[in-house]
Amino acid sequence: MIHRTPIDGILALVAALVVAPGIAAAQGGSLPADWTIRLDVPQEVVSGQDAADGQFRYERMPPGWHMTTTTAGVTLFPRGRSVAGEWGVEVELFLFPNPSDQPLGVVLEAADRPEGTMVLQFLMRADGAATLAAVHDGEAQVMVPWTRDTAVAPHNGTDVIKYVLRVMHQGEALAFAINGTEMFRVPTGGEDHRSVPGLRLGRGLNVHVSRFDLITPLAPPRAAPAS
């Protein structure tokens, strides 16, 4: 089922699941200079080894990155990139065995507001459920509760599973899709706010991100069958 949730324009660019403000200090390892990395809490950054509790593993592994979170999550933003008008953000990732139940997905942060104060997150969990929520100046609101769709298969716990998440702004709506199936559609009232796209990984996840693309949408994703 597609959830069409009416919200006002200001909430169209705010985000669920508040990311802890500020860039947490990290030691060791090597992070990409062209991305802003916000660890939820200060952690050691490691590479070339398995991550122990309290560490964040990052590997540049073409095509893409390999990242492992342990006891805390991380949010990443490309430096100097923003979206406005007709746009899309598409992330292709591979979720490795034994994932936690913590969310991961696409985040959009208002470009003209202080860091972390107006953000939108489209998140999924390993069980295939997705959610959409918002925070504005510290006030959080769940826009769509955790929702399952039969078109999105849950992770089986043992394999490496591919997921493609897409957020599109076309006309007067934001559309949110997983593996080509639209999950949610949110009217924006025609307002267009410039935002910075990013990636959110919750704790206890082992993920390879092969693509993080800013695109010009040509066609909407297929709608899920009505239930």
Domain ranges of the chain: 3-46+63-223
Rounded to a whole number of angstroms, the distance between the first and last alpha carbons of the chain is 6
Looking at this protein, which amino acid is placed at residue 201? L
pLDDT band at 219 (very low <50, low <70, confident <90, very high): low
What's the predicted TM-score (pTM) here? 0.81
Give per-residue pLDDT as tens, 142-190: 899 999 998 899 999 999 999 999 999 988 899 999 999 999 999 988 7
Note whether 120 and 202 are within 8 A (CB): no
Give per-residue pLDDT as tens, 14-69: 322 223 333 333 334 567 888 889 999 999 999 887 899 999 999 988 889 999 99
Give per-residue pLDDT as tens, 149-159: 988 999 999 99
Q: Give the pLDDT score at 5.
A: 37
CATH 2.60.120.560 for domain 3-46+63-223: yes
**3-state helix/strand/coil string of 152-191:** CCCCCCCCCEEEEEEEEEECCEEEEEECCEEEEEEECCCC
